Amino acid sequence: MTSTASRGSPGILASLKPYLEPAPIGALLLGISSGFPYAMIGATLTTRLAQDGIDKRSVTAFSLAFLVYNLKFLWAPVVDRGRLPFLGRYGQRRSWLWLTALAVAASVVFLGVVSPQASLETVALAAVLVGVAGATFDIVIDAYRIEILQPRQLGVGSGMSQYGWRIGSVSAGAIALLVAASSGWALAYTLCAFLVLPAVFVGFWLGEPARHRDPIPVKGLGVALSSAVGPLTEFFRRSGAWLVLLFVLIHKIGDTLANLTVRLLLQDLHFSNEEIATYDVGFGFIAYLVGIFIGGMLYVRLGMKRSVLLSLVLMAVSNLSFAVLAHMGHNNDMLAFTIGFENIASGIGGVVVVAYLSALCNLSYTASQYALLSAAASVVGRLVTGTTAGGLIQSMGYVDFYLMTTVVALPGVALFGWMMHRGLVDRAIAEVDVRASA
């Protein structure tokens, strides 16, 4: 018995070792800081507005604040090329990391102190400021993460980043709900602002990324144009790049629609703050961790392409569970199943799709290209949510709405399957060493 156990131990330790390396741990901490601003203008703000009696159309319109995340590729070249005074001496990535962390903390505190009942317009402005600061923070964090990870660490690092993102978003959501119930939203948001600190610490701990490649300098009037256009032209010169971008645009429409409206569903089904915190936040967090673990295993066993395709199918099908919950009404068992299924599917997708998007980035333009890809990933779903989702729910009802979100997810699945068949997935990847590691 002892001999068998001793033979098994090295295998277990070897499987855990990649997760304990500095770069993946850094990706985890960066993810924590990246996840919480999203929660502040997502589910948390939706709950806050709904509890203050704001109508559904106005509540869903606030999801337009997320569109700032989808426009971040416009100023990502500044993050790639712009040198900051004073802080710039500490490196391109670290200087921007620390500056944007400060901006996120300040904007989150501002969002917490403004009152929806006093001025909904001021709340909208504050939400947009959080979106701008959070999106810029993400530009830096994503570039830093990709550049500190070696190609062999891509799958593990993407998983750790997703673990961190969910820890950050769940922690912020739980803190906000629980503290607001007893001490108000202002204190709740202020406490959440401290979640920028893990990323700040990583900048001190790991230093400036060694794998960062400065783009080839361009002299004269071409500097500004090259900074903005160079990353895009490099990407679109690749075989099948336009189809890749189309896939990125459409693959998360259904998932985004479902996730950005779920708190409205839970409010209308009369789930309490405690039930939402228990199931949507707490149980959902555990299920998401399980999904990330499964995603890492699938990435290793199936490879990047097949694991991405499987994750797309699961994310599409998971929307059906929301329709069933809407039909059944207030039912904690069905809520647990729905949240569990959706979060496991999202966890799997978070690992393998993020790894795929990271592999598409040229290391000379990491911030700009990942900003473009990640922004495109949910822009259509967020635009539809902010402009028409509230009206669609009111006219169609929740059941038909979530059935619709399942249907609109299917074209993305079909397109990626076709891209696999034609070999376009491999040909569009930027770095040969990244492709080999997948």
**What digits encode the pLDDT tens for the residues 51-93?**
666 666 666 556 666 677 777 878 888 887 778 888 888 888 8
Q: Is residue 25 part of a domain?
A: yes
- On whether both 239 and 111 belong to a single domain, the answer is no
The mean per-residue pLDDT over the stretch 330-342 comes to 89
Q: Is residue 135 part of a domain?
A: yes
The whole-number pLDDT of residue 436 equals 39
Contact status, residue 265 vs residue 328, Cβ threshold 8 Å: no
Place of tokens 């500056």: 99
- Of 212, 247, 274, the residue at which a domain comes to its end is 212
Q: Report residue 238's pLDDT band, with 50, 70 and 90 as the boundaries.
A: confident
- On whether both 207 and 246 belong to a single domain, the answer is no
Q: How far apart are CA 236 and CA 244, in angstroms?
A: 10
The whole-number pLDDT of residue 303 equals 82
Lowest mean pLDDT among 106-110, 295-299, 434-438: 434-438
- On whether both 206 and 264 belong to a single domain, the answer is no
Higher pLDDT, 335 or 68: 335
Name, in order, each residue with C-beta under 8 angstroms of 75's C-beta and a sequence gap of 6 or more: 136, 139
Structure tokens at 245: 């971008």
Q: What sign has the CA pseudo-torsion 291, 247, 79, 260?
A: negative
Structure tokens at 172: 């912020």
- On whether both 241 and 198 belong to a single domain, the answer is no
- On whether both 74 and 203 belong to a single domain, the answer is yes
- On whether both 123 and 256 belong to a single domain, the answer is no
The mean per-residue pLDDT over the stretch 93-108 comes to 95
Lowest mean pLDDT among 39-43, 118-122, 223-227, 376-380: 223-227
Q: Is residue 3 part of a domain?
A: no
Specify the CATH number for the domain of residue 369: 1.20.1250.20
Quick one: which of 195, 142, 148 has its CA closest to 22? 148
Structure tokens at 73: 């590729």
Quick one: which of 179, 188, 172 has its CA closest to 35? 172
pLDDT in tens, 306-329: 999 999 999 988 889 989 998 898
Q: How far apart are CA 180 and CA 261, in angstroms?
A: 21
Q: Is residue 2 part of a domain?
A: no
- On whether both 175 and 261 belong to a single domain, the answer is no
Q: How far apart are CA 76 and CA 369, in angstroms?
A: 8
Lowest mean pLDDT among 65-74, 124-133, 181-190, 343-352: 65-74
Higher pLDDT, 386 or 193: 193
Name, in order, each residue with C-beta under 8 angstroms of 107's C-beta and a sequence gap of 6 or more: 126, 129, 130, 132, 133, 134
Q: How far apart are CA 80 and CA 266, in angstroms?
A: 41
Q: Is residue 116 part of a domain?
A: yes
- On whether both 380 and 248 belong to a single domain, the answer is yes
Quick one: which of 168, 29, 25 has its CA closest to 97? 29
- On whether both 252 and 206 belong to a single domain, the answer is no
The boundaries of the domain holding residue 331 are 235-437
Domains: count for the chain: 2
Structure tokens at 43: 């589910």
Round the average pLDDT of the chain to a whole number and report it.
80
Q: Report residue 435's pLDDT band, with 50, 70 and 90 as the boundaries.
A: very low
- On whether both 240 and 170 belong to a single domain, the answer is no
Structure tokens at 48: 């806050």
Instruction: Give CA 268 to chain center in angstroms.
Output: 26
- Of 179, 212, 245, the residue at which a domain comes to its end is 212
The whole-number pLDDT of residue 432 equals 46
Q: Both ends of the chain: CA-CA distance in Å? A: 37
3-state SS string for the chain:
CHHHHHHHHHHHHHHHHHHHCHHHHHHHHHHHHHHHHHHHCCHHHHHHHHHCCCCHHHHHHHHHHHHHHHCHHHCHHHHHHCCCCCHHHHCHHHHHHHHHHHHHHHHHHHHHHCCCCCCHHHHHHHHHHHHHHHHHHHHHHHHHHHHHCCHHHHHHHHHHHHHHHHHHHHHHHHHHHHHHHHHCHHHHHHHHHHHHHHHHHHHHHHCCCCCCCCCCCCCCCHHHHHHHHHHHHHHHCCCCHHHHHHHHHHCCHHHHHHHHHHHHHHHHCCCCHHHHHHHHHHHHHHHHHHHHHHHHHHHHHHHHHHHHHHHHHHHHHHHHHHHHHHHHCCCHHHHHHHHHHHHHHHHHHHHHHHHHHHHCCCHHHHHHHHHHHHHHCCHHHHHHHHHHHHHHHHHHCHHHHHHHHHHHHHHHHHHHHHHHHHCHHHHCCCCHHHHHHC
Q: Is residue 1 part of a domain?
A: no
Contact status, residue 172 vs residue 360, Cβ threshold 8 Å: no
In the predicted model, is pLDDT for residue 252 greater than 90? no
The whole-number pLDDT of residue 3 equals 45
Q: Is residue 224 part of a domain?
A: no
The whole-number pLDDT of residue 193 equals 94
The whole-number pLDDT of residue 107 equals 94
In the predicted model, is pLDDT for residue 266 greater than 80? yes
- On whether both 135 and 20 belong to a single domain, the answer is yes
Which of 148-152, 186-190, 393-397 has the highest average model confidence (pLDDT)? 186-190
Q: Is residue 300 part of a domain?
A: yes
- On whether both 247 and 349 belong to a single domain, the answer is yes
